[in-house]
Amino acid sequence: MTQDLVLFTRTFDLLEWLLPKAEKFPRQFRATVVQRLMDAVLDFNEAIHDAHRQGGSTRERHLRQADAHLDTLRVYLRLAHHWRWLSTSQYGHVSAMVAEIGRLLGGWLKVDKTDKG
């Protein structure tokens, strides 16, 4: 239970860091690529909150959806770095944040699966 609470904190930290950065991305891409990036991180946040409120197979489904949203976020962050919207140090920082979130999510999935089995 403590591990998933840390996940919420780290996700909030990611949102707090990423939202202001995304506002500075090129205007011409804000309705497309930037919106999709933000959708991915916000959908991830909603999925973990939904998982926290649920149990059983519904929880696992939400956790799997969260994992998929995190993978999508990784792709968009890689593109943002490739297009130089994020500097190498910014990309390194956000990648480390996402990697930690991924480990926390993986731990929650593992514990949830162990509790069932």
Total residue count of the chain as it appears in this document: 117
Domain ranges of the chain: 2-116
Q: What is the pTM of this model?
A: 0.91
**Contact between 102 and 70 (Cβ < 8 Å):** yes
Q: 49 is written with which tokens?
A: 């909150």
Distances (CA, A) of 79 to 14, 24, 32, 33, 89: 17, 15, 13, 9, 15
**CA 26 to centroid of chain Cα atoms:** 22
* Cβ–Cβ < 8 Å for 39, 66: no
Task: Tell me which CATH code domain 2-116 carries.
Answer: 1.20.1440.60
pLDDT values of the chain reduced to their tens digit, one per residue, 117 residues? 556 689 999 999 999 999 999 999 999 999 999 999 999 999 999 999 999 998 888 999 999 999 999 999 999 999 999 999 999 999 999 999 999 999 999 999 998 776 665
